[in-house]
Structure 1
């Protein structure tokens, strides 16, 4: 399928998500906005959305329940606070930001998400940074009758942290994978493999990384505070990496640049 900046993937919830999003820790860019209560910028993001003149229906807004507010009551509070801060009518996607809080905390937080979804406050639900054991635990809990669907899994993913096992778990269930820090926080831009591919395709290393993510079937969430680079990050639909190119980025590496709850959270 040929992709463009206007392309979307259909979530198992029935809603659609743009194929490229933009991380919102220090900026605001449309049409897919990835925010979180932890970032302390939900109100600012929402205000920028309102001022943009773009119809609300054309914007996909994400927020997250923070690690320190797991459990039913705290998660319910976090959800209500995020909804109030955004004041957008509804949140398109709400994620559990990390698997902390133990089994009881994770299950209580999920139950709070399901209730908010049933009330029409959230459209789609998902998780971020959950290990396979946490995913299978949650899947069993959902199937026990609490309800809801995991529609999105959000992780740090790039050639130096590919997480193929987790991506495959989601792929088998038709769950969309979002890749945050797809540019490796600009720490790998001088890598020979990237420089060679950039030269071959007359693109930047950042564009190669975003294209890699797209061709893996992920929704990349690049972040930049520079307008020209934000535009550059969106100009990735006029070329394609060959099978050989993709193979050259299949690296024997596990080197995340962000926090790593996937491995840090053991219970």
Structure 2
């Protein structure tokens, strides 16, 4: 959504950070790699000082907001520095016998080609392609209710109907079989009861809704060692302790 310039779900603080980040990048010329690493390690105190020094802008607040939107657009538009950095990451990732994606992977996605799909999304984000106006948005990956990033087939609450659950498991089985995989991990749909599995642990739903705009849930981790998975749930808000809540 951000690459397309759709900022409907962006919090005000996230806009502000992009102003500071764009200013930070100016001091690194074209060395984006160094800049990104440096920003991650930059102290929270530095960013807090910047926020405090610009917190009382009064009538200039509208101008600040316009500047923030422009900064976010500049960094995330196709070909932008942050869009290019994100383009290095796959939309669908397979590690050993496990498949990872944001929304869900379906048989027709596999038939289309995972490598092809990842490459097309990467090229779109980089703003590179044979088309002089840039490559088209890869619909099968990023658009539509059954695309890889928007699909909720595996993560939504299952209807209390046996044949419906069986149908979902059958689709998952077909998808996994075609990839020679044993399990798929998805996010996208917040899970009120935390990380959980379906279809005899072949589907794992891991979006616990940590955001303050969703459930403000405590962190949970799906730990996978070999083909065995277990869920780790923090016992405190500071994540200082871990509790094993399920082991398969």
TM-score tier (shorter)? 0.3 to 0.5
Rg comparison, structure with higher value? 2
For normalisation by structure 2, the TM-score amounts to 0.33
